[in-house]
Chain A
Amino acid sequence: MNRRFRSVALAVAARSIHNVFTNPALILPSVVFPLFFFAAFAGGLARVGDIPGFDYDPGYTAFQFAFVLIQSSAFGGVFTGFGIARDFEMGFGRRLLLAAPQRPAILVGYLIAAFVRAAFTMLVVTVVALAAGAELNAGGIDLFGLYGLAVLVNLAAALWAGGVALRVRSIQGGPLMQVPVFLLLFLAPVYVPLDLLTGWIHAVATVNPFTALLAAARDLIDGDAGTLGVAVAISAGLVALFGVWALRSLRRAEAAGG
């Protein structure tokens, strides 16, 4: 990374972060929605932890904490896609394309912003979960793995959504960024472990790559890093895949004149 590349990336990141944290309409949804899911699931469904066959030591609150943590970092990435779409819709993208000698630096800038936004959300979710009495059996290394995994998910989601945004270049592309992520998240063992799912949802969840990530996150909270390797491999694969997608989308945006 040369100096110009870094300076473009930092400028784009600083501006996106500034916008997000000074506009309640932009930051609130990404914090409130996860907390709301957490309240509805960990609070409303607490008895689900008593179902015969549900054995997860840290308890149902911690079980849902894992989901909400990963979910919020994924949506932090999707919301960054919204921001990119808005920028290119109003022509601001052209200003960036014009000033950046190396244009992938723009993408990197948005990714940094996505990371900061997700880090903030993850912090809030963690604090709330601890306050709500989630018991984490995780050690330092496990926590490192847990947040690292969340960051990879954030990166993959931001690359996916950013790629869509650079192709559609309009906020109309919002559902296209959001719905697949939503489906991937919810067609997984959200409420109960995989073995308690039956029928079609069991079949779908078994092949859903997100299932392995979620399982690893829950295992880490339980102090077990055994499944982390697979989860990291899967999420790194997604990052690579959507990285290529996003770069190709950037080329599209360039060819269309921003």
Chain B
Amino acid sequence: MSSFGHAGLLVRRSVIRTLRQPANLVFSFIFPLLLLAVSAGGLTATTKLPNFPTNSYLTFALAVPFIQGALFSANSAGTNFAEDIESGFLSRLSLTPLSRSALLTGQLAGVVALGLLQAVVFLAVGLAAGAGFAAGIGGLPVLLALSVLITLGFGTLGALVAIRTGSGEAVQGMFPLFFVLLFLSSTSLPRDLMSVDWFRTVATYNPVSYLIEAVRSLLITGWDGKALALGFGFAAAIAVAGVYLCSRALRNRMVRT
């Protein structure tokens, strides 16, 4: 079989396996929506703060599930990869003529598909609940592209931990770290409304802030070139760095195993 055919099979396996796990669905869909409901409910009053960019906290908060879903995807990509390493499946694959990049693509296809599905569901639920989408129908492909890129980026980070450690437990262990990244960003308030200095500084250096703000700009302002450039820039940087580090780590592992 050609390397291409192999990769195709891996893509199929990865997608099916990712979408079939009920735990994945809970964490990828229900949990982010639950947090959205809680914060949209609890923080609505903050829109009364001067300079708050919108009068719908729901619209403001709707950006968060997109990023959160991507963080969970990182977890699931990493877990799947670690399982393959622990079960010896990866060793078996390294005996085939499959190239590393094809292998990586195959393994990450599942989370990318999941990311796309998440973006569609979150947007639909948000709109149904009364959120705005300022960029309109033309913004849809941009939003989806951004989501996929972000999911891919975090997916490679999850895979990286899995490849480096070969342990599903290590992947689970970084889960809280993702949570920290998410909450120490502009998740709950715009950065210029953060009054505690250290927090604003952390959020400014946290790349997750720019991912959220890019998604948020499409929802609240429409077309904000700067926000989108920063968002796409950081997402692409994470994805490129992740793919590069993964393929390097994979080279080491496949030599070792």
A and B touch in their complex, CB below 8 angstroms? yes
User: Which of A's residues lie within 8 Å of B, judged by CB?
Assistant: 29, 32-33, 36, 39-40, 42-48, 50-54, 186-187, 189-192, 196-202, 204
Q: Which of A51, A186, A199, A202 contacts B49 (CB 8 A)?
A: A51
CB-contact partner of A47 in B41, B42, B194, under 8 A = B194
Interface of B is mostly: helix
Residue pairs across A and B with CB atoms within 8 Å: the count is 85
Tell whether, in the assembled complex, residue A192 and residue B180 are in contact, meaning their CB atoms are under 8 Å apart.
Answer: no
Check if B49 sits within 8 Å of A44, measured CB to CB: no
Which B-chain residue is minimally distant from A175 (CB atoms)? Answer: B26
Q: Which residues of A contact B196 (CB under 8 A)?
A: 42-44, 46
A-B contact pairs, 10 of them (CB 8 A): A36-B179, A36-B180, A39-B199, A40-B184, A42-B196, A44-B188, A53-B48, A186-B42, A192-B42, A200-B41
Per-residue contact bits, chain B 169-201, to A (CB 8 Å; 1 contact, 0 not): 000000010011001100111000111101100
B241 at the interface (CB under 8 A from A): no
Which residues on B are within 8 Å of A, measured CB to CB?
Answer: 37-39, 41-46, 48-49, 176, 179-180, 183-184, 187-189, 193-196, 198-199, 203
Nearest A-chain residue to B199, judged by Cβ: A43
Nearest B residue to A49, CB-CB: B195
9 cross-chain pairs, A with B, having the tightest CB-CB distances, nearest first: A201-B41, A43-B199, A40-B183, A196-B45, A46-B195, A43-B196, A191-B42, A46-B196, A186-B38
Name A's interface SS. Answer: helix
Q: Are B176 and A29 in contact (CB under 8 A)?
A: yes
Residue from the list B37, B41, B176, B194 in contact with A44, Cβ < 8 A: B194
When distances are taken between beta carbons in the complex, the residues of chain A under 8 Å from B203 are 44
Q: Give which listed residue, B45, B189, B193, contacts A197 with CB less than 8 A.
A: B45
16 new A-B pairs (CB below 8 Å) besides A36-B180, A51-B49, A191-B42? A33-B176, A36-B179, A40-B183, A42-B196, A44-B203, A46-B195, A47-B194, A48-B45, A53-B45, A186-B38, A190-B42, A191-B39, A196-B45, A197-B44, A198-B44, A201-B42
Whole-angstrom distance between the Cβ of B213 and the nearest chain A Cβ = 15
Are A45's CB and B188's CB within 8 A?
yes
Measured CB to CB, the closest approach of chain A to B226, in angstroms, equals 23
| B180-A51 in contact (CB<8A) | no
